[in-house]
Amino acid sequence: MTTNLDTRLGSLSPAVISLFRVVLGFMFAVHGASKLFAWPVDSGAGAVPVGNWPYWYAGVIELVLGLLIMVGLFTRIAAFLASGQMAFAYFTEHQPKGLLPIENGGEPAVLFCFGFLLLAAIGGGAYALDAARSKR
């Protein structure tokens, strides 16, 4: 029974990895769009003024890398950079407010950081543009 379930779940890995990549990339891109354009949701502060350090740059990075990750183009590189950005965000914006992510509001940054680190290690999955490019 366990072997059959393990085999069936294992066969879903390519699709699940791709779904994970698409959802994570989409969420990251939405964070970037919210910072840059206050769209599709205004995060409360309105659009960040152009050039405002570090928030405007973070928004650009989140939007661009999120879109690349979502479609699976240069996934490992984009995910590695996004992971680093989230680590930077955590240690500069959240960690000074408290030791644990639950107390300093840094849970999303930590989850993004390690989700992207996972994608950097395993790649974007069978349904990424990277996979189509490598078949050429």
pLDDT attached to residue 135:
82
pLDDT of residue 48: 94
- 136 pLDDT exceeds 80? no
CA 128/CA 123 separation, integer angstroms:
9
pLDDT digits 0-9 by tens, 72-126: 999 999 999 999 999 999 999 999 999 999 999 999 999 999 999 999 999 999 9
Which residue, chain included where needed, has tokens 């779940």?
A: 9
Is 28 within 8 Å of 79 (Cβ atoms)?
no
Helix 107-122 vs helix 13-37: angle between axes, to the nearest 10 degrees?
A: 130
pLDDT the model gives residue 1 = 61
Three-state secondary-structure class, residue 40: coil
Has residue 69 got a pLDDT over 70?
A: yes
